[in-house]
Amino acid sequence: MGLKIAVVGGGSTYTPELVQGFATREDRLPLEELVLFDVDQERLGVVGGLAGRMLARAGWGGHLVQTGRLQEAIDGADFVVVQLRVGGQAMRLVDETLPLEFGCVGQETTGPGGFAKALRTVPVVLELAEETARRGAAGAWLVDFTNPVGIVTQALLDQGHRAIGLCNSAIGFQRQFAAHLGVPPERVELEHVGLNHLTWERAVRVDAADRLPELLDRHGEEIARDLGLPVALLRTLGVIPSTYLRYYYATSEVLDEQRRRPSRAEQVAEIERGLLELYRDPALDTKPELLERRGGAFYSEAAAALVASLHAGTGDVQVVDVRNDGTLPGLPDDAVVEVPARIDAAGAHPLPLAPLAPELLGLVQQAKAYEVLAVQAAVRGDRDVALKALLANPLVGEYRVAAPLLDALLQASRPYLPKFFPD
- The residues assigned a catalytic role are 244
Residues paired with 81 in a beta bridge: 7, 143
Query: Which SS3 state, helix, strand or coil, does residue 68 take?
Result: coil
> How far, in Å, CA of 351 to CA of 342, rounded?
7
> How far, in Å, CA of 211 to CA of 25, rounded?
30
> How far, in Å, CA of 304 to CA of 9, rounded?
16
Q: Which of 338, 403, 417 is nearest to 118 (CA)?
A: 417
In 10 A of CB 421, how many CB atoms?
Answer: 13
261 CB-contact burial (10 Å; exposed 0-12 / middle 13-18 / buried 19+): exposed
> How far, in Å, CA of 79 to CA of 5, rounded?
5
Measured CA to CA in angstroms, residue 24 lies from 21, 62, 302 at distances of 6, 13, 13
> How far, in Å, CA of 96 to CA of 109, rounded?
9
Residues paired with 36 in a beta bridge: 7, 66
